[in-house]
Amino acid sequence: MNFASDNTSGAHPAILEGLMAANEGHVHSYGDDPITEGVQAKIREIFEAPEARVYLVATGTAANALSCAVLTQPWGAIFCHRNAHIEEDECGAPEFYTGGSKLVLVDGPDAKMDPDALARTIAHTGRGGIHNVQRGMVSITNSTEAGAVYSPEDVKALTDVARRFHLPVHMDGARFANALVSAGCTPAEMTWKAGVDVLSFGGTKNGCMGVEAVVIFDPKRAWEFELRRKRGGHLFSKHRFLAAQMQAYLADDLWLKTARHANEMARKLSEGIGQIEGAKLIHPTQANAVFAALPRGAHKRANAAGAYYYLWPFDQSLEGPEDELLAARLVCSWATTPEEIDAFLGHLA
């Protein structure tokens, strides 16, 4: 009963099989191998973007930080939600890789930026001329850190604001597949057709061992990304082992199947929690994460039974009145089973 993160699950067997197959023989290094070339072509096909450039890195933080670095200058502002992953969980990596850009935070419910709030924040930034950080770029997290999903229309509302101020847009898609199957749209509709310039396309949280793709829809930015990736230490020499994961991930729509399963498990968990007396959902369950407030006694029973997950925020204590509500984050993955959820709910009730 592990709901701590979609990072706690292992790699999908198909990913491991792909790695073993790629281990045979000798191929060129640094991405000049046929597996990488095939993956790049496949992603262009999936996104209906024949001119896009595709680059692989091992972590989501690298994907996000390097993406930001090609979209803004060191004196530029990166507009994002105050709960965005690049703000809360990347240890200043975007600031480091951009050479000093400032994250400027925007409000909105369920960790989704409100378009009007974004417009006000951008308009307010840089008014002091040379004395202020300048307007740089917008970064959207989909799905959000609260488990909510931006629809293509939601994305377009934000990119329209960005375009009004002539700003490029990045999408942190560590859970892009979860957002996509929830929204019921195509990859193109969620990204470049809605105004996104660069996408961090996640694999690690959705069944891979460790691989993310950076999809650059404007090829003019590609060479700079290549240089920054190398300079930043993220160009793998044995690159085929990144590509082999992505190849298996995309084959037969595995990436959509694993995301759909994770979302379905989260929905089952959310519905079960909704039936527990005294419990309440904090955010709508739209992807693979459930945010709920449960009585302290329920948490203690679940913990005693071996369930592992995080109280959210972390500074809550299991010591205190049994009926006091404590908030928790519960994340499902490709490996979550209905039986796990049933057992967990049984301990909560």
Residue 327's DSSP bridge partners are 293
Domains (ranges, CATH) in the chain?
A: 13-253 (3.40.640.10), 255-348 (3.90.1150.10)
| pLDDT 10s digits, 3-33 | 999 999 999 999 999 999 999 999 999 999 9
User: Phi and psi dihedrals of 336, rounded to 5?
Assistant: -65, 140
Say how far apart CA 168 and CA 320 lie, in whole Å: 48
Say how far apart CA 301 and CA 108 lie, in whole Å: 34
Say how far apart CA 335 and CA 263 lie, in whole Å: 11
**For 92-101, 103-112, 241-250, 273-282, which range has the lowest pLDDT when averaged over its residues?**
273-282
| Nearest alpha carbon to residue 97 among 61, 60, 133 | 61
Say how far apart CA 293 and CA 308 lie, in whole Å: 16
| Nearest alpha carbon to residue 7 among 208, 258, 159 | 208
Q: Is the confidence at residue 323, as pLDDT, over 90?
A: no
> Which pLDDT band, with edges at 50, 70 and 90, does 313 fall under?
confident
User: Phi and psi dihedrals of 167, rounded to 5?
Assistant: -110, 140
Q: Is the confidence at residue 314, as pLDDT, over 90?
A: no
Does a cis peptide bond (omega within 30 degrees of 0) precede residue 109? no
Q: Render the burial of 258-269: b for 16+ CB within 10 Å, e for the rest.
A: bbbbbbebbbbb
- The two structure tokens encoding residue 343: 């057992």
Say if residues 292 and 280 touch (Cβ distance below 8 Å).
yes
User: Phi and psi dihedrals of 348, rounded to 5?
Assistant: -75, -35
Q: Residue range 112-136: average pLDDT?
A: 95
Residue in the structure block whose two tokens are 């071996």: 306
